[in-house]
A and B are shown apart, each in its own frame.
Chain A
Amino acid sequence: MTSSKLDAKIPDGTLEQKWTKYRSTVPLVNPANKRSLEVIIVGSGLAGASAAASLAELGYKVKVFCFQDSPRRAHSIAAQGGINAAKNYQNDGDSTYRLFYDTIKGGDYRAREGNVYRLAEVSANIIDQCVAQGVPFAREYGGMLDNRSFGGTQVKRTFYAAGQTGQQLLLGAYSALQRQIGLGQVEMFTRHEMLDIVNIDGKCRGIIARDLVSGKLERHFGHAVLLCSGGYGNVFYLSTNAMGSNVTAAWKAHKKGAFFGNPCFTQIHPTCIPVSGDHQSKLTLMSESLRNDGRIWVPMRKEDAAAIRSGKLNPNDLKEDDRDYFLERRYPAFGNLVPRDVASRAAKERCDAGFGVNQTGEAVYLDFAFNTKYKYGKKEATKRSIANPTEAQLKELGQVVVKEQYGNLFNMYQQITGVNPYENPMMIYPAVHYTMGGLWVDYNLMTTVPGLYALGEANFSDHGANRLGASALMQGLADGYFVVPYTVGNYLSKEISVKPIDTNHEAFVAAENETKSRLEKLMNIKGTKSVDYFHKRLGKIMWNECGMARSTAGLTKAISDIQALRAAFWNDVRVPGDINEFNPELEKAGRVADFLELGELMCKDALDRNESCGGHFREEYQTEEGEALRDDQNYNYVAAWEQLTNGDWELHKEVLNYENIKIAQRSYK
């Protein structure tokens, strides 16, 4: 039974009618009233910038906050591969329904049908909007848009701009945002961090933000507040997220009444550059598009793996028969293009069994040699009418094509590792990349706090237990450009007579005092260890016990370890500098303090979910072949956690109803 505290507010009607009907019947706000309604947006990535621009264009008064020095720096900028849209430009059988179906299946049947269908429906509008803004997507010679394929689908529906799609989409949304700033419709607050929300009479009415340059706390009123603050992958310390990516905005909202949905659903991306040493501060992704042409393997024999690890054997010298292309072996139908969760687990399984190929034993090969020579080299030789090309000729011809397609990624690999990937197979290993979990929201993207919304990666809504590649950009822009402009109007239409609340209201004063005393507490610990010291330890606990494989014993231990680490943090952390100045260490301290609470909830959620699904793999629940074993009978629900006043959590369940899709065992074999 769905908890009485959770109402997803999915509109009635068939799947195809729900959003159309909603848009046509939703209450509106007239233009004169929009001018007196204020909206606060926290975060300036794809979701935040697109929402800010769209709402400002409608006439609302908007304030946007970001912690970076410019809204253009938000981490959406780093997305590489592409953005999905059901345009069917390739005439290969794509449709709104198929994108919807692929997303639900890819998410291992743990997402809401209504939300996902709407996402698929508006996906085509996103591409139109971005092209109109001047986003330079890749094109074919005839001048039409090009597409590429991504994991977990059988159609080509991914639009891209080289390996920098996120950058181009974000700069499009940023341009639209800057235009509204120039017109005075948006007031921008850079180098500002939201540190609390302010609730008055049961509704969210504003935020407390810290000016990161002066250190001053500020109070800001809004008729509605939109959190577009991204995901929380940095709870693992090492991840592909930016250094500043954090959970603080979402976590403060959680502590003030917003339920947290599926916190344990984390995406581990299979192709990242492996950890090279203790000094490492972040991990770098190698785009999923590389799996189109790279073949993933480890040696067939353990002694060969050991010889490679000790530098006695060059992988290029290992014979074809002595290599184990384990994805092609285990999943012949999808091969190297299985979804991310499946590919990551398979790599871990081989490394755990002793077949890893770098010094730490935690790396597998992503090898372009075969396709360089026999796919591209042969094609080029044929084009040039070279009858019997030598191996060296094939390699040379093929490398030109590989460079054209993946040049920037190969350069990045060489820059980071010092190894030339044209001559040697790349070493890769799974790393934390994205969080499907986030603040629980209803169909309107409103959290359990009235007037408080969550968009993009900050909410839990569309990707279930595993996100498909090129779908994060789609969701961020769908939420901001095409969903929230309607749904926030629905709420604000009832707020037109509410005058802006004076920020001297006691609720604002109390929230500011609370924030101030927490900052002072952090400064006054004056312990002996840096913030990073604690963050690294938290990351190790999370990665070992709440990462790619989870177990009852491990999670139970992790919870007590995190509690102990949190106590040690509040006793012994050292935050240098002053409170009233630019102080990056103080910013970090606040964020890590929140991660130390979130980590516990993630483990609790993982422990509660006695099944394996998508990125959540409980060792106790697997098939004989080691595949994830779902339990639809007992766990076909969204776990929404409410924080209680004593700091503990209560679980509320939103049961997922599949009316259009038949739930089945996911198979990529």
Chain B
Amino acid sequence: MSGDMNVTLKVWRQKNNNDRGRFETYPVQGVSPDMSFLEMFDILNERLITEGKEPVAFDHDCREGICGMCSMFINGRPHGPLQGVTTCQLHMRSFKNNDTIVVEPWRAKAFPVVKDLAVNRSAFDRVMSSGGFISINTGNAQDANSTPIGKDDADMAFAAATCIGCGACVAACKNASAMLFVSAKVSQFALLPQGQPERKQRVLNMVAQMDAEGFGSCTNTGACEAECPKGISISNIARMNRDFIGTQLSMQKV
């Protein structure tokens, strides 16, 4: 054991998507403040395995805050108490000795539970397939410097493009809306000259797919922006709404 913190975990356990699920309580001893939240789960799982019990399933991969795979809802907040941090970059020094910590999966109709804390976020991929791209086949490109792009536009497009697709915005939203995720991709391309030819069709298609996946509507509470580990701005939603409404009014459907 490498530390002297003790915490009590209340963890959502659900064998699969057909199971009802319930909370289980696990005391975890010997936690070091330098451990990441997921490493604390590693200790718990190691113990459950040696006790002959089933470890807690959770999604994680890069453990450096960029792949977007980790997804725990901790004490009522996606990715826990800190701002601008994914669960894998949350450390136990953010908690106190003898804390009780409640850990749930993302809760959203469009994100069905796979097992315990792991959910299925393939709805995001389908939204991307509906229009989250610039249609250019390999080999078609002109020289990279042939179209100058102002630094401000490039920086704003980059800021929108840093979304890691974790789904915290959906989990944070009382309506389980995916507007922040979708608008970040719409904005990235809307801000760049390369994105202009498909700009109108893109926003219509992506919004239609978002609705078809069962995500809720946006009521501007701003929880998504507050909980986004990458600080994606809610102004992207405003930009998407402008594009969407403008496109609906201006596009001629024959």
A residues with CB within 8 A of B: 50, 53-54, 57, 68-73, 75, 77-78, 87, 89, 125, 127-134, 136-145, 161-162, 164, 167-168, 171, 174-176, 178-179, 181-182, 188, 190-191, 213, 240, 242-244, 276-282, 284-285, 411-412, 415-418, 481-482, 485, 528-530, 532, 574, 576-577, 581-585
Q: Shortest distance in angstroms between A78's beta carbon and chain B's nearest beta carbon?
A: 5
A57 to B121: give the CA distance in the assembly, Å: 26
Separation of A611 and B2 alpha carbons in the complex (Å): 40
Residue in B38, B48, B138 whose beta carbon sits within 8 Å of that of A54 in the complex: B138
- CA distance in complex: A529, B63 (Å): 24
Of the listed stretches B72-80, B188-196, B244-252, chain A binds: B188-196
Interchain residue pairs with CB less than 8 A apart (16): A68-B61, A69-B122, A70-B165, A78-B64, A87-B144, A131-B144, A136-B154, A143-B149, A143-B150, A167-B66, A242-B67, A277-B2, A281-B38, A412-B65, A532-B46, A574-B50
Take A131-B194, A576-B54 as given contacts and tell me if A77 and B67 are in contact as well, using a CB distance cutoff of 8 Å. yes
How many angstroms between the C-alpha atoms of A482 and B157 in the bound complex?
27
Q: Which of A50, A73, A87, A134 contacts B194 (CB 8 A)?
A: A134
**Contacting pair B144 A128 (CB below 8 A):** yes
Docked-complex contact B145 and A485, CB < 8 angstroms: no
Residue on B nearest A171 in the bound complex, by CB: B161
- Chain A residues within an 8 Å CB radius of B114: 191, 213, 582
With beta carbons under 8 angstroms apart, the residue of B38, B49, B195 that contacts A576 is B49
Binds A, one of B29-37, B95-103, B219-227: B29-37
Given A179-B129, A277-B2, A530-B49, check contact A134 B69 (CB 8 Å). no
Please determine whether B60 and A243 come into contact, CB atoms closer than 8 angstroms: yes
Q: Name, among A68, A73, A144, the residue most crowded by chain B CB atoms within 10 Å (CB to CB).
A: A73
Q: Which one of A89, A242, A576, A584 contacts B145 once the chains associate, using CB atoms below 8 Å?
A: A89
B34 touching A276 by the CB < 8 A rule? yes
Report chain B residues within 8 Å CB of A136.
Answer: 154-155, 157-158, 161, 188, 192
Nearest residue (CB) in A for B69 is A73
Complex Cα gap A550–B145 (Å): 46
> What is the total number of residues of chain B having a CB less than 8 Å from a CB of chain A?
81
- B142 and A128 contact, CB distance less than 8 A: yes
CB neighbours (8 Å) of B49 from chain A are 530, 574, 576, 585
> How far, in whole Å, are A182 and B137 apart by their CA atoms in the complex?
15
Give the residues from 183 to 240 in chain B that come closer than 8 angstroms, CB to CB, to chain A. Answer: 188-189, 192, 194-195
Known: A71-B125, A164-B162, A168-B158. A134 touches B134 (CB 8 A): yes
In the assembled complex, the Cα of A90 lies from the Cα of B34 at a distance in Å of: 43
Render B84-115 as a binary contact track against A, CB cut-off 8 A, 1 for contact. 11000101010000000000000000000011
Q: Interface centre among B54, B120, B129, by most A CB within 10 Å?
A: B129
Which 4 pairs, one residue from A and one from B, show the smallest C-beta to C-beta distance?
A143-B148, A182-B129, A132-B141, A175-B133
Beyond A70-B125, A87-B145, A277-B35, 19 additional contacts (C-beta under 8 Å) are A68-B69, A70-B165, A72-B165, A77-B62, A128-B143, A128-B144, A133-B134, A136-B155, A143-B150, A162-B158, A164-B66, A168-B161, A176-B133, A182-B129, A277-B32, A576-B53, A581-B15, A582-B114, A585-B49
B254 at the interface (CB under 8 A from A): no
User: Is there contact, CB below 8 Å, between B194 and A133?
Assistant: yes
Contact call B61/A242, Cβ cutoff below 8 A = yes
Pick from A179, A181, A191, A530: contact of B135, CB under 8 Å: A179
Which of chain B's residues 8-42 have a Cβ closer than 8 Å to chain A?
A: 15-16, 32-36, 38-39, 42
Set of chain A residues within 8 Å of B162, measured between Cβ atoms: 164, 167
Asked if B67 and A78 make an inter-chain contact with CB atoms under 8 angstroms apart, the answer reads yes
A131 is contacted by which of B43, B118, B122, B141 (Cβ under 8 Å)?
B141
Chain B neighbourhood of A162, CB < 8 A: 158
Pick the residue among A182, A282, A582 that contacts B115 (CB under 8 A). A582
CA distance A590 to B132 in the complex (A): 35
Q: Determine if B144 and A78 form an interchain contact, defined as CB atoms under 8 angstroms apart.
A: no
A176: nearest chain-B partner, CB-CB: B133
Whether B66 pairs with A57 at a CB distance below 8 angstroms is: no
Are A418 and B62 in contact, CB atoms less than 8 angstroms apart?
Answer: no
Taking a contact as CB atoms under 8 Å apart, the answer to whether A412 and B158 are in contact is no
Complex Cα spacing A53 to B138, Å: 8
* Whole-angstrom CA separation of A87 from B146 in the bound complex: 13
Q: Is the CB of B16 within 8 A of A582?
A: yes
CB contact between B62 and one of A145, A242, A276 (< 8 Å): that residue: A242
Q: Within the complex, what minimum Cβ distance (angstroms) separates A66 from chain B?
A: 11
